Amino acid sequence: MATEHAAGLLGSLRARAAAPVSSGSLGALRVVYGVTLFAAVVRFAARGWIDALYVRPAHLFPYWGFGWVPRPGAIGLHALFAVMGAAAMAVALGWRARIALGVFAVCFTWVELLDRTTYLNHYYFVSAFTALLALLPVAARYSLDARRDPSLARATVPAWTLWVPRAQLAIVYLFAGIAKLKGDWLLRGEPLRTWLLARADTPVVGPLLATAEAAYAMSWAGAVFDLTIPWLLLSRRTRVPAYLAVIGFHAATGMLFNIGMFPWVMVGATTVFFDPAWPERLFPWRGEPAPARASEVPSRALAAGLALYFAAQLLLPLRMHLYPGDPCWTEQGFRFAWHVMVMEKAGDVRFRVSDPRSGRAWVVEPGEFLSPTQARVMAGAPDMILTAAHWVRDDFARRGVPGVRVYADAWASLHGRPARRLVDPRVDLAREDDTLRPYRWVYPDPATAPDH
């Protein structure tokens, strides 16, 4: 009986996944997403960030296991961004849409893998979401592909093609909400309190933003929003007020915290929670592009790939529990876990170098070999401090002083607390390997870290 019941549930799930729904929502998502990506690429290039972040720095901080990713020269990097811009526009127009999405995902991820300094949750989201959309029939509606090849035009798509982007968005929101269920966020209003105080000179609302009440209210509202918004968007009863909340929430965070195009990416992407036929109701003159297709399920290979992908999406945020201490402090398990806007950390570090053979000693400041942005980010990130220490060691070896010992005097302040030691100053970082294991040379929690 149990086997028959399970088989019945699986059959019902397959039928629901294969059920045909309007392709309008998927087509509209592609258009909005492509336009937003194009605007983001133009903005990035116009502000000179290609040269500032990737061309001029003497060193870049590659991710663990990705040191093999090549760093193009200035021409190559500008060419990569030009290709991204062209691919984004092709996505919006629906011209070779799947190829364009794949090209954008590869180029964007290539650039992001070059340097941990530039890590942002929404950059990770763009890589993941773009790759997912490349697997879906996004050119079925409102695309040049459908005009060029009528066989690609389709009035319906299987329901699972909407489940996939919805699931990715739900994972982002839910883990972002879980990450906010901490004492600093809920009981101290941090780091929002620190950030809002910096906006006290905002016209009209500045004095209000500087109050503790505003920090607490926005902290709690942010946690509730992240934890509930996917379910509210799925329900027909609450969808309209929920989407208005999405617009208001992301518009407010975008204006207050200057986080680039991410708010608008999310505002556009969450339209996938609407009724699949919403574009047809909003733009009725578009009409039906082709007869509806029969129901269909993903191939076994695609289904297996998606299952592995979403398993990774669920497990990566949980890996922080494999490490001791606060992930906002040690940053082990922090990246790729949707810890959205939950950390404010300021650091200061310098390296003490000694030659055991001659007894000579030196002090090396990060500003001697890093850009200001790299030095600022590195000072609070233990894994980047380790990488920088290895660069210092290798630089001395090139100058004829091999085998030096490198120690870090690293201090950090988390969420406005007094600065504490982040790294054990007695450990020779030149002899430590970068690893996925817990760092034995990092103090696991600011509460127990030395203050002298």
Contact criterion met (CB below 8 Å) for 96 and 46: no
Dihedral over Cα of 199, 384, 82, 93: its sign: negative
The set of residues, in sequence order, having a beta carbon less than 8 Å from that of 345 and lying 6+ positions away, is 328, 329, 380, 412, 413, 414, 415
Q: How far is CA 340 from its chain centroid?
A: 8
The structural domains of the chain, with segments of one domain joined by +, span: 22-157, 167-282, 327-431
Residue 209 tokens, joined: 């933003």
Residue 80 tokens, joined: 């990569």
Nearest to 371 by CA among 41, 110, 58, 47: 58
**Rounded Cα–Cα distance for residues 169 and 178 (Å):** 14
pLDDT at 289: 53
Residue with structure tokens 């890996």? Answer: 319
Nearest to 417 by CA among 83, 99, 193, 122: 193
pLDDT at 385: 98
pLDDT at 452: 77
The DSSP output letter for 55 is: I
Q: How far is CA 125 from its chain centroid?
A: 4
Give the C-alpha distances (Å, rounded to integers) separating 188 from 205, 252, 316, 345, 357.
21, 21, 27, 15, 50
Contact criterion met (CB below 8 Å) for 17 and 84: no
Question: Is residue 65 classed as helix, strand or coil in its secondary structure?
Answer: coil
pLDDT at 291: 55
The DSSP output letter for 42 is: H
Q: In what order do the strands lie in the sheet with 345-354?
A: 361-364, 345-354, 405-414, 420-421
Residue 188 tokens, joined: 């101290």
Contact criterion met (CB below 8 Å) for 198 and 207: no
The whole-number mean pLDDT for each consecutive block of 10 residues of the chain, a chain of 452 residues, reads: 60 82 94 95 96 96 95 97 98 96 98 96 95 95 90 89 96 96 94 90 85 94 96 94 94 82 89 92 62 67 94 95 94 94 94 96 96 96 97 96 97 94 97 94 92 82
